[in-house]
Amino acid sequence: MMKNVEHIGIAVADLAVAESVYSALLNVQPYKREAVESEQVTTSFFKVNQTKIELLEATGPDSAISRFIEKKGEGIHHIAFEVEDILVEMERLRNEGFTLLNEVPKRGADNKLVCFVHPKSANGVLIELCQEIR
């Protein structure tokens, strides 16, 4: 079961510049910067009340974020939903006919297990499922 929107992911070309923009916009500083080598990205997280924003900068030309920016430019990349049990939710979505981009959850940023739902299955929106690693 999906509990809430966990964060909104935004693809950026220059993380330092984007951090300045979002620090001014949100009037807070990022609380965490983290490299996710398996995805070839560096992330930066902001939190305002219960809302989290994840900025994503590619660290290599083969990164999904590099390809996204080349194709669409900077902007919203994905919406992430927190789930109680990612394996159960993945099975439920498969049974509902959604196409998952991961066969098994993988380690993501901010101490999460993650799985992505293909945008073609969700009206053009990349959906991320997140479960806190316990």
Rg (CA), the chain: 14
Measured CA to CA, the distance from residue 44 to residue 60 in angstroms comes to 17
DSSP state of 100: B
Distances (CA, A) of 47 to 10, 52, 106, 115, 124: 14, 4, 23, 22, 26
pLDDT at 134 over 90: no
- Using one digit for the tens of pLDDT, what is the confidence trace for 83-102? 999 999 999 999 999 999 99
pLDDT tens readout for residues 36-79: 998 999 999 999 999 999 999 999 999 999 999 999 999 999 99
Contact 22, 46 (CB under 8 A): yes
Pairing of strands 2-12, 51-58: parallel
Query: What single-letter amino acid sits at 74?
Result: E
pLDDT score recorded for residue 74:
98
Q: pLDDT-derived band of residue 2, with 50, 70 and 90 as boundaries?
A: confident
Query: At 29, is the secondary structure helix, strand, or coil?
Result: coil
pLDDT value at residue 53: 98
Q: What whole-number distance in Å separates Cα of residue 79 and Cα of residue 67? A: 18
Q: What mean pLDDT is reported for the chain?
A: 96
- The tokens of 89 are what? 């939710």
Using DSSP, state whether 67 is helix, strand or coil: helix
Residue 101 near residue 39 (C-beta atoms within 8 A): no
Question: Could you tell me the pLDDT band of residue 31, with boundaries at 50, 70 and 90?
Answer: very high
